[in-house]
Amino acid sequence: DVKVTQSSRYLVKRTGEKVFLECVQDMDHENMFWYRQDPGLGLRLIYFSYDVKMKEKGDIPEGYSVSREKKERFSLILESASTNQTSMYLCASTQGGQGLHEQYFGPGTRLTVT
């Protein structure tokens, strides 16, 4: 079974703190994703990585950065957390190649910024 794990299920941080969200997948997938999910807005893509050290901005990259130093690990960084970044964050991975392969999601991290 493919497994995507996220470092925390729940996280509470203060405004201005630097926040790291970690995601690890165990299926040697090329592609990894970070989404945020808010009521009424569905899933919105923050960043996409298609290889180690490679990344592309998604729909809402402002206020976020990412790091992919190893194939299995994709980190989302909030340089200076703000209250409007309170949300559910979901990581996903999928194999590479042409087409729209199945994305495997982690359980999510619910981040609260106070």
Partner 1 sequence: LAKTTQPISMDSYEGQEVNITCSHNNIATNDYITWYQQFPSQGPRFIIQGYKTKVTNEVASLFIPADRKSSTLSLPRVSLSDTAVYYCLVGDYTGANNLFFGTGTRLTVIP
Nearer of residues 12 and 18 to partner 1, judged by Cβ: 12
Nearer of residues 76 and 106 to partner 1, judged by Cβ: 106
The residue type found at 99 is G
> Where along the sequence are the contacts to partner 1 (CB under 8 A)?
4, 31, 33, 35, 40-45, 47-48, 50, 56-58, 90, 92, 94, 96-108
The residue type found at 98 is Q
Q: How far apart are CA 114 and CA 30, in angstroms?
A: 35
For the bound state, the minimum distance from the C-beta of residue 48 to partner 1, rounded and expressed in Å, comes to: 4
CA angle in degrees (0–180, nearest 5) for 45-50-52: 120
Nearer of residues 18 and 41 to partner 1, judged by Cβ: 41
